[in-house]
Amino acid sequence: MHRSMRFPLLACVIATCTLAACQAPTPSAPEQAQAPAAGTPQVTADTSQQPARTTDQPAPGQAASPAAPEVTPTAFVDKVWRVKSSGTVEADTVYAFLSDGTLVIDSPNGTPMHGQWRFEGGKLTMIEEGQSYPTDILRVDASELHLRSHNPGEPVDIVLTLAPDAPLPKAK
């Protein structure tokens, strides 16, 4: 081989070796199957012993963004509901959503308060003392109504039970 031909050939071999040395080794097939894709969060906790859950429910500790069940006002209107539990509303307080749009709230230790309620586009709004509160209907059936009222500050959860023995209050 002529001496002038060896130099370009030698340079080409050196360049090829250098490029090969700079590339990361290709992982084996099992390593590729286990490697997370770019941007995929990695699970660091052992979840093998945890029960499966549906993805339409938030994980424990996550804020729920409730999807209202298919509700019509007939499920809760012109019925007397009594507070079973709430973090802020006194137990045994009575709620009545009258068909004329009147909301009557009567606590055991106070005088009845008359407000209003609206149900538009599948969403409930309670209006107390002129203040509107968007309210999620989390659950409703023949005996229970579970509401989440978005008052200023933290939302207020109220679990009400049907009070069939209580008379329906009159609108003001």
91 found inside a domain: yes
40 found inside a domain: no
The residues with which 114 forms a beta bridge, in sequence order, are: 104
3-state secondary structure of 20: helix
Q: DSSP readout, 134-145?
A: EEEEEEE-SSEE
23 found inside a domain: no
- pLDDT of 26 reads 54
Q: Which residue range forms the structural domain that includes residue 88?
A: 73-162
Could you report the per-residue pLDDT of 122-159, keeping only the tens digit for each? 999 999 999 999 999 999 999 999 999 999 889 999 99
- pLDDT of 98 reads 98
Q: Which of 16-20, 28-32, 116-120, 152-156 has the lowest mean pLDDT?
A: 16-20
CATH number at residue 86: 2.40.128.280
Phi, psi at residue 94, to the nearest 5°? Answer: -100, 135
What distance in Å separates the CA atoms of residue 33 and residue 154, rounded to the nearest whole number?
45
pLDDT band at 44; cut points 50, 70, 90: very low
Specify the DSSP class assigned to residue 77. Answer: B
Burial class (CB in 10 A: 0-12, 13-18, 19+), 30: exposed
Could you report the per-residue pLDDT of 72-121, keeping only the tens digit for each? 999 999 999 999 999 999 999 999 999 999 999 999 998 999 999 999 99
Q: Is the predicted pLDDT of residue 31 greater than 60, yes or no?
A: no
Name the pTM for this structure. Answer: 0.61
> Residue 25's CB: how many other CB atoms inside 10 A?
6
What distance in Å separates the CA atoms of residue 83 and residue 94, rounded to the nearest whole number?
6
Q: Give the H/E segment covering residue 82.
A: strand 80-86
Provide the domain count of the chain: 1
- pLDDT of 62 reads 44
108 found inside a domain: yes
24 found inside a domain: no
109 found inside a domain: yes
Q: Give the H/E segment covering residue 162.
A: strand 156-162
